[in-house]
Every structure is written in C-alpha cells, then in structure tokens.
Amino acid sequence: MQMKRKTQPSSEHTEQVERVIVRPNGPLEGEVAIGGAKNSVLKLMAATTLAEGRHVLHNVPRISDVGWMGELLEAMGARVEWVGPHDLAIETPEDLVPEAPYELVEKMRASIVVLGPLLARFGRARVALPGGDDFGPRPVDMHLRALESLGATIDFAHGYIEARARRLRGQRIVFEFPSVGATENALMAAVLAEGRTEIDNAAREPEIADLVRFLNRMGAQVSGAGSSTLVIEGVDRLHSVEHTLIPDRIEAATFMVAVGIAGGEVTLQGARADHMDILIQKLGDMGMRISPSSEGIWVMATKQLKSVDIQTLPFPGLATDYKPFLVAALTVADGVSIVTENIFSGRFRYIDELVRMGADIRTESHHAVIRGRPMLSGAQVRAHDIRAGVAVALAGLKAEGETVVSDAFHIDRGYEDFVEKFKSLGADMDRK
C-alpha cells in the first residue's frame, strides 16, 4: 500500500500512541522478534536516491520515521509502497527534485543524510536544516566540511542548506570525531565522485557497514567497513537493488534491559550479539546472564541488579542510545553508579521524569550519580524523545502503582508494536 503524504504518522504504517500505561509486573517470559534497524533503514532509503529503478528493502520496521522518510522521498518524486508486512519498495525516477522541504525534514534529524546522495547524483541539493529529537545540539558542520572537501559549494538561505558541484572529486577526509551522520553523508557523496576518497576516523557502527553493503550491491566500490578508514573508488553510475536490513540492536537492548529490571527469561529472535559486545559485558557485570543462541540472544535475570559505572562512546563503545535504558535500570540496582555521557550534551532531560518516579539521581555537567533503590513509584511522566520515552516505560516495570507516559507518540518513531511485544512477554502495559 502506497504511503500518502497526509499521514504524519499514519495509521497505515503505525498507530499513533498518545499514552503508554505501565504497571509493575514480572517476570518477563517468552520470545520476542527483533525488527530491522531504524538507524539503518532511514539511511538506506536516502541512498535509493543515488540510482533510478525499483529498490526493495526487506525486514523494514513499520515505524513513524520510516513513514516520514517515505513521505520525504515522495515529495521529491519517488514512489514508496509496502509490498509485504516488512518489505518496502521504492521506485526512484530518473529525475528527482533534489530538495527536502522543511515541513518533512524538521520531523527527524536523520533527513540530513539526503544531502550527500542528492548532491552527488544531481550536482545540487537544497535541504532544510534538520529537526528531530530534542536532546542537545548536533551541528551539521562536519557534514558540510566533508562535502566541501569533495568540491561542493555550500550556502545558507531561508533556513536551507544549498549545495552545488558540477561533479564531486575524491579527497582524503579526516573527521575530528567519528560522527555517524557525517560519515554516511560523505560516503554516499563519494561513491559517485570522480577518483578515490579516503575517510579517516570514520564511524564504525554496524549501521555504517549495512550501508556499505547496500552501496556495494548497487555497484559502488567501498572497502573498510567496520574499521576507522573507508576507501571509496568513485563510479559513474549505480543501479537499483534488493537488500535485507540488519536487526535493530537498540530494540534488542530495550528488551535485554527490561528483563534486567523486571526479571525473567527471554529469547530475542534475530538479535546479533556481535553488535552489542560492550552492552552485554555491562549487563553481565550487573548480574544478568546473556548468551548467543541459534535463534538470537538468550537473556535471564533472577535477582536485583548490581550497580556499575558506564560511559557512552562511539562504536564499539557503549552506544548513547542504550544509556537511557541503563539509567532506568540503575535506579533500581543495588549500590551507587556513575554515568557519563560523552556524545550528546543534552541527553539527560529524561532524568527529571525518573526523579518524579522516586529515583535518586544527581546530575552535574555530563555526569549522573545514581543511588539505586529496590522500587520506584508510578507517576505521570513525559517522553521527551524516542529513547527517553522507552526509559521511563521500562522504569514503570519496577514502580509501585501506575506509570503514565504522555507524548508517547515518540516511541512509535522507533518501535513497532512496542506495547504489544511487551504484553506478549507478560508485562502489564497498555496504550490509550
């Protein structure tokens, strides 16, 4: 069924959730299927602008952000439709309008990654400055410097980034920080650039490797995925392909931490342990038992978690997207923990919501000190962004009374059937 632009988000690709209601319950038991990676699919959808033809993506989650990215592609002239429960077809015409309008880009920051591929294919791109989750500044300076080093001219006018280049030319790009978005934009621009591009201090996340596989299947020549150096030999033309997404390691982390909070034994079908080494190590230090299985990852927790110190770092370090879940778990762990956020300066806003639930947390700069307690107290709380909304919902699994998460439409941006999956494991959770 074709996505229509009037849906933001639509009931067609996700049911908008206004409130999630959580009551303490446990243990969690059973199996849950982990969907395709949100942080991969949006970039793959952007990459389809590099070549005309019919692209088909498999294992695509039916989430709001996929709907919005589909609307963005349709605004440029592509045709986007579901051709199966989790199969998405994108028809990219020969001529796209290389412009990403504000009313769509402001919904999610990931939209900025259309800048590189549009510029590479059409020699020009006009993209509104991005919006999205509100947890601190994520400037696009590194994106733009990388494109300028490839020969682009960048201007700003009326809230838009306007980029032009007759044809990009390969260069050596060195990032001061391994930014995922900047790596993706530079990579997608370089595949159609003339000559050789080397990206040093590139991001190493599994989603980058998934994008490299997709681009190489399209006819690109990229090596070094998974390392800090990507080497791209530019080609003149790419072609449309089919591709299956990697599983969503952030969704897998959500259920792993939930088991730690509520107790129980759960198998995460399709999850990949090799994408989550540091998280698995930390949860093991907290007292959980976790093991890869033929089906995915087996997770078990039988007693109160132990406190640990954690810090977020670029992959293969502990992902910043894991941190809100871990903070929620540490509020009910035994002992004192120190959490350090090294990626995004503003990503502690959800802590006020946890404090409303009785959590003992003190923050200073990019550090949080957490004194765990056996139980929290249910309260009216708010989802400030996707992962923050999930964090307070997870805390509700260990909070007396009822936890009501408002603005929970944020959760739909990154999770398909969030409440239904938890209910299938025995959680006392509803939506209203």
Please, which residues bridge with residue 334 across strands? Answer: 306
Please report, as a single letter, which amino acid is at residue 156: F
Candidates 85, 14, 49, 32; CA nearest to 256 is 32
CA distances from 294 to 106, 254, 273 (A): 41, 20, 11
- Check the CA dihedral 284-247-408-340 and report its sign: positive
Q: Taking the CA atoms of the chain, what radius of gyration do you get in angstroms?
A: 21
Residue among 133, 210, 248, 321 flagged as catalytic: 133
Evaluate whether 17 touches 204 at the Cβ level (below 8 Å). no
Work out the number of other CB atoms within 10 angstroms of the CB of residue 168.
24
Does residue 352 carry a catalytic annotation? no
Candidates 186, 273, 217, 252; CA nearest to 57 is 217
Q: For the chain, what is the largest distance between any 2 Cα atoms, rounded to a whole number of angstroms?
A: 62
Catalytic residue set: 133
